[in-house]
Structures are given as C-alpha cells and as structure tokens.
C-alpha cells in the first residue's frame, strides 16, 4: 500500500491530500529514510512523522484497504511521541 494512503486509512492523518503534502515536504521517514507519498509500506516498517515541534514514531502492525474508525488504531503501534492528527 502507498504511504499516503496508509496514513489516511489508519487515520494517523485525516486526509490523503494532507498526507501527500506532508510526505512531499520531507517530513515522513520509513525506517530512517525519507519517504515519498508513493513509497510502499509493509508490516514491520517504522514510520516517523515530524510535526512543527514534535514527532510521532509508529510501527506498522497491519495493512488493510478498508477499516472502521474503531479498528484504525489496530493498524499501528506508537513507539514514541504523541498522536497528533492533522
């Protein structure tokens, strides 16, 4: 699954267009490498998102095309930082 779509489906970021902009701005890395919106993610990858004055680091636990709002948090596990949704 594409990174921008994963961020939207998992509800880490509410809108895919915002997820794409964040990725294009170089503020998202996967396994310590800057990632583009089209980068493929897989289970076990570690995503880090840089916000203005904090960051969120999460491990991908599950990848699914469609999930409910209730089950979205089961797609990742937060390693460090605060969950700050845009």
CATH number at residue 19: 3.10.290.10
pLDDT score for 84: 46
Q: How many domains does the chain have?
A: 1
In the 3-class helix/strand/coil scheme, how is the chain assigned residue by residue? CEHHHHHHHCCCCCCHHHHHHHHHCCCEEECCEECCCCCECCCCCEEEEECCCCEEEEEECCCCCCCCCCCHHHHEEEEEECCCCC
In a domain, 86, yes or no: no
Domain extent for 43: 3-81
Indicate the average pLDDT of the chain: 91
Q: What is the pTM of this model?
A: 0.88
* pLDDT, tens only, 23-48: 999 999 999 999 999 999 999 999 99
């Amino acid at each position: 699954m594409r990174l921008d779509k994963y961020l939207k489906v998992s509800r880490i970021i509410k809108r895919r267009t915002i997820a794409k902009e964040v990725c294009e701005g170089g503020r998202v890395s996967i396994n310590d490498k800057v990632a583009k919106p089209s980068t493929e993610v897989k289970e076990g990858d570690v995503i880090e998102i840089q916000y203005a004055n904090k960051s969120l680091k999460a491990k991908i636990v599950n990848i699914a095309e469609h999930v409910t709002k209730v089950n979205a948090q089961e797609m990742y596990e937060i390693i460090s930082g605060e969950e700050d949704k845009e």
